[in-house]
Each structure stands twice: as structure tokens, then as C-alpha cells.
Structure 1
Amino acid sequence: MAAWSNLTFDALEHITSFLSFSDHYRFGAVCKNWKSVSKRRRHPPAPQLPWLVLEEESEIRKRKFYSLSEGKHYSIKIPELYGHYICGSSHGWFFAVDIKISGIIINPFTRKYYELPAFPAYHENVDVTTLIEKVPSDCMEGPRDFTFEEMQTAIVFNAIFSHDPNERSDFTTMILFGQKHSPAFWKPDNSSWIVVDSPKCAMEDVLYFQGNFYIISAMNVLYVVDFELEPKLIEVRPQICPQIGVEGCALQRYLIDFDGNMLLIERFRRSVEYDLVITHGF
């Protein structure tokens, strides 16, 4: 019988390309050799339904996930993510912010990560490195204190990467940050975030599609990011589609790459309680 533990690294790595997320972790638990392969894997898992990232189990410092294909919950120990809020995921990497309002990009399989520079000012000229600031709130009259935990979940609205950091070291990270979800980007050789000049209206989603970053605004206008000279947004087309409302519902927009086509998804949400929002439809 063959000694499976002695298979070469290349052969084992090829096997992992056929495994699901859950089987990947089972693979790494077989022996030391297989565990080293699972941590150094350079290729993404086999195509599958995405996992949902759930809350943190603070008592055991594990992150909870939900597998849509299996209908099961998993608790995985990723110490680097303890105390972090995950703002986005792309190419299997997480974009996470801790309670000190500092960010990292991390691969949950290999545990390789990048420490990010301080975020841009999230409200006019307020510096996010300050512990607590007085900022206006949409829910209260006048200013109020923003705690670390609130800033942690509010500073970055969304984050994506142009390429898999495992495959290209010159990848670009694009975020929508602050109250207006303003765009900003960072590259590994940059010492700070570069804010993209954009209209005053709020941005709702960002997508890297066929070599460009596209951003959809709350006004249903599609923009492409121009990196020449002073980075700015260029309007691709205004009012992509009529804003068909549903009475009593708020509208949220998403850009997705579906089989080589860019789609705009509209989501209708309704508030039923102070902190509970349900989805009415798409």
C-alpha cells in the first residue's frame, strides 16, 4: 500500500485544488506533512457556494462560519482575527479591522497577512487614529461619542482586491470608507491610503471587473476608477435603470461579476425594529 503521508508537495497541493473549504481543514489534520501543504497552498479551493462569516466565539477565540452547501456551522481558530470585524472578502482573503481601528488583509488558510496603514479621515477632517471623536449621528440629534467598537464596524463599508495576493504582489486594495463610503486604494508598496476624488453622493458598492474598478452610487450612476495623475471617478453611464421602489423599503445596490457579465442587484430592505432589518426582495 502506498504511503500517502510521503506524497510529494506538488502532488498533495494538486489534490487540495479539488477540495472544499471544510475538506481542506480535514486534509490538514491528517499528518504534519499534509498540514504544511494546507498552510502553504497557492491555489484557491474548488468552486463552491460561498461560506458565510458569522460572529466570533469570544470565549474560545474562534471564528464561526456557515457552509451553505452542507448546511453546517464551523468554528475555526484563526488567532490573527480575534477581536476583528471583517469588512470584505476577495480571492479567499479577508479584510479585517480591530478595535484599535487598524486593519489587516489575511488569508485564513495560510495565515499570511499584510498590515495596513492608518485609514483616511472618515468624517471630514477627523483622524481615525484618535481614540474617541465627536461626530454627527443619523440616529440622534447633535453629536455623540463613537466608541472603538462602533468605529470598527463603521469605518470601512466594503473592501475588495484586484488580484489574489498569493499570485500577484502588486495587487490593489480598494475600500469604501466613512459616512459617504468614499473610495480609497492601497498597494503593498504604498505607505498610506490614496483617496479617490469622487462626487459628494454616497457610493454603494465596488467591483473589480475586466481590469478596472467600477463603483455604483446611491443615485444609480456607474463610475470607473481612473488611476492616471490624480485618481478620480469617471462616469460610465448615468441612471443605469429606473429606481423602482417598494413602499416602506430602503434600496441597496450591489455589483457582481456573473460568468463574465457585470450585473446590478437591487435589494429592498425594511426596518421592523430599532436594530433589526429584514430583506423584502431583490
Structure 2
Amino acid sequence: MADWANLPNELLGLIVQRLSLFDDFIVFGAVCKSWKSVSDVEAKPPSPPMFPWLILAEDGDKEDERIKDKEFIQSRRFFNLSNANVYEFQLPEASSRRCLGTHFGWLFTLGLDLQISLLHPFTRHQIPLPPQPTFSDQYEPSGEFGPEDVRYIFIRKAVLSSNPWKKTTEDYERQDCAVMTIYGEVSKLAFARLGDTSWTNVQVPSRAYDDIAFYKGHFYAVDCHGVAVVCDIDDDRNPKALVIAPAPKGSRDHFLKYLVESAGDLLLVSRIREFSDYESEEVMKEEKHPYLTSAFIV
């Protein structure tokens, strides 16, 4: 029989570099220690899976019980929608950090130190972004919000223009990717390119943006009214958003708005939520989120 565990590292490296499926990459590193060591060194982030992997929230109760367990503190769990399994990975880079999903398998992370970075959870490669204090609009200091609260509410969404991972001979190219965010108390738009030292606001015709998407070479956004805009960020001194579609007839501000690409088109999806009809006031008081989704309008 072949001694699979002792295949030459050069051969294993060539195999890893040709993997394109996300699940194959994970399984390759799980074969044995020697294969895992090669995948850690040689691997590039594979294509995203057909079904998303969802990062699960850190369990506060279990963290209190096992606070002395360093392995627990440094791990995060992911749920695989394709097989309904939960996987746990050593990921100290994400410990106690706010994690937002982006495209191409990267996480947008924000810590109590207000540092921001892109993190690939399965290769643990990080790319620094400008820190939170470089946004032009900050929450006013008050007793209502502490640093931990601001970490969770400051940035609502982040979207990448392209995959920032481009392996060269010695390092990773970081020129062809921009990150757009919805941030702040009034949900403004700001962006940064990899290598920037601060975030740049986009001049917008309104505020309170619900969603952003990168579509056919441009960032698009929709506000709470349903007005869609396209962002022109080619001129760093005067980035602005132009209205391309008015709010649909019958749109309401309390409908949650999403931009979704489907079959080559960009769609505006409104989620309608209605107040739950509880039988007793006591039950309603115990429910933290008394609204239920009743319909979608596309």
C-alpha cells in the first residue's frame, strides 16, 4: 500500500494549489498532520462553497464556564448548510471580535482595540484595514454606549469589490480591492482601498442606508426609503452616489431593503415584518424580538 502520510511535500503542495472546491480544501487538511502542515503553508483560499458556511456566535454562557480553557477561547464554530454539520476551528484571530461576513470567504473583523481587518478563517491570513477612529463620523461619548457596544453597532455591513488574495512570489497583491461599509448612527457610506490609512465618506443624496452590493464593477446601495444609488469612487477627492432608481410604489421605510444579484440582474428585495399577535401581555414582554417576517416584495 502507498504510504500516503509520507508523500513528498512538493507533491502535496502541487495538489493543494489545484484544489478549487472549499470542502476539498478542508478535507485535505484533515487527512493527517503532514497534509495539514502542507495545506497551512501552500494553500490559497479556495473558491467559496456552493452552500455558505455560517459563523456561529460565541457562546457567552459556555465562555463563562470554560474561561480558563484557552483552546475554547481561541476557537470559533461554523455551520455547514450543505450537510447541517457544525465544525470548530482554532481561530484566535477572531476571538472576542465582531465578525461580519463578506464575499470570497473573508470575514470583516472589528475588535475592542478598534482595529479592523479582513480575515480568511480557514487559512488565518489577515489583511489590515484602517481602524475605526479614522471614520469621519463617530458616536458621541456618552454613558449609553461603551467600547464593546460601539464595536457591535458601529458598522452594519461590509462588501468587497474583489478577492484581495492574489499570491505573488513573496507576498500578496493588495491593489485591486476596495471595501464599502454602512456605518455610524445614521448609516452612512464609506470606503477604503487596501493600503489606505483612513476611510473615505461617499457623498450621498440621503442617509439611513439599508444595504450595499458590488455589481458589474460598481458599488450599489439602497436607503431605507427604497431609493437605489450607484457609487462613483474613482475620484478619491469627490466620491459620490447617484440615484439610479426611485423608491418603488408602495415602499415603506420600515420595510427592510436588500440588494440581491440573481441570474445577472440586480434586484431590490423588501422584507415586510409585522408585530406578533401574542395571546398574553406576559408572553410579549418575554419576547425580545416581537416582529415576524410576513412577506417579501421583489
Question: If the TM-score is normalised by the length of the shorter chain, which range does it land in?
Answer: 0.7 to 0.9
Matched, 1:155 2:141: no
> 1:243 is matched by which residue type in structure 2?
G
Range moving further from structure 2, 267-276 or 221-230: 267-276
Q: CA RMSD in A?
A: 2.5
Q: TM-score, normalised by structure 1?
A: 0.82
Q: 1:233 maps to which residue?
A: 241
Task: Quote the Cα distance in structure 2 between the aligned partners of 1:36 and 1:236.
Answer: 50
1:185 to 179, 182, 191: 191
1:242 to 227, 244, 249: 249
Change (3 A) 1:48 1:145: same
Task: Quote the Cα distance in structure 2 between the aligned partners of 1:120 and 1:271.
Answer: 37
More strand by share: 1
Q: 1:17 maps to which residue?
A: 20
2:268 to 261, 264, 271: 264
> 1:34 is matched by which residue type in structure 2?
W
Query: Does structure 1 retain, via aligned residues, the 8 Å contact 2:129–2:196?
Result: no
Query: Does structure 2 retain, via aligned residues, the 8 Å contact 1:201–1:219?
Result: no
Give the 3-state SS of the residue equivalent to 2:152 in structure 1.
helix
Question: 1:224-247: per-residue Cα shift (whole Å, max 9, x none)?
Answer: 1112241111111212x22356xx
> 2:20 is matched by which residue type in structure 1?
S
Query: Does structure 2 retain, via aligned residues, the 8 Å contact 1:85–1:96?
Result: yes
Q: 1:138 maps to which residue?
A: none
2:95 to 82, 88, 105: 82
Question: 1:50-99: per-residue Cα shift (whole Å, max 9, x none)?
Answer: 12221124341221221111112222221000001112321100001112
Question: 1:80-132: per-residue Cα shift (whole Å, max 9, x none)?
Answer: 000011123211000011123321111112211122222257795647xxxxx
Task: Quote the Cα distance in structure 1 between the aligned partners of 2:238 and 2:117.
Answer: 26
Q: 1:281 maps to which residue?
A: 295
Change (3 A) 1:24 1:125: closer
Task: Quote the Cα distance in structure 1 between the aligned partners of 2:37 and 2:215.
Answer: 33
Give the 3-state SS of the residue equivalent to 2:57 in structure 1.
strand
Task: Quote the Cα distance in structure 2 between the aligned partners of 1:52 and 1:234.
Answer: 33
Query: Does structure 1 retain, via aligned residues, the 8 Å contact 2:212–2:221?
Result: yes
Listed as ranges, the matches of 1:52-63 within 5 Å are: 52-57=54-59, 58=63, 59=66, 60-61=72-73, 62-63=75-76
Q: 2:281 maps to which residue?
A: none
1:208 to 186, 208, 214: 214
Rg (Cα) greater in structure: 2
More helix by share: 2
1:105 to 100, 104, 118: 118
Q: In structure 2, list runs of 5 or more residues that go unmatched.
A: 67-71, 167-172, 277-283
> 1:280 is matched by which residue type in structure 2?
S
Q: 2:257 maps to which residue?
A: 253
Q: TM-score, normalised by structure 2?
A: 0.78
Q: Give the drift of 1:169.
A: 1.8
Query: Does structure 1 retain, via aligned residues, the 8 Å contact 2:139–2:185?
Result: no
Change (3 A) 1:200 1:225: same
Q: How many residues align?
A: 261
> 1:161 is matched by which residue type in structure 2?
L
Task: Quote the Cα distance in structure 2 between the aligned partners of 1:265 and 1:114.
Answer: 32
> 1:63 is matched by which residue type in structure 2?
R
> 2:191 is matched by which residue type in structure 1?
F
Query: Does structure 2 retain, via aligned residues, the 8 Å contact 1:208–1:214?
Result: yes
Give the 3-state SS of the residue equivalent to 1:216 in structure 2.
strand
> 1:18 is matched by which residue type in structure 2?
L
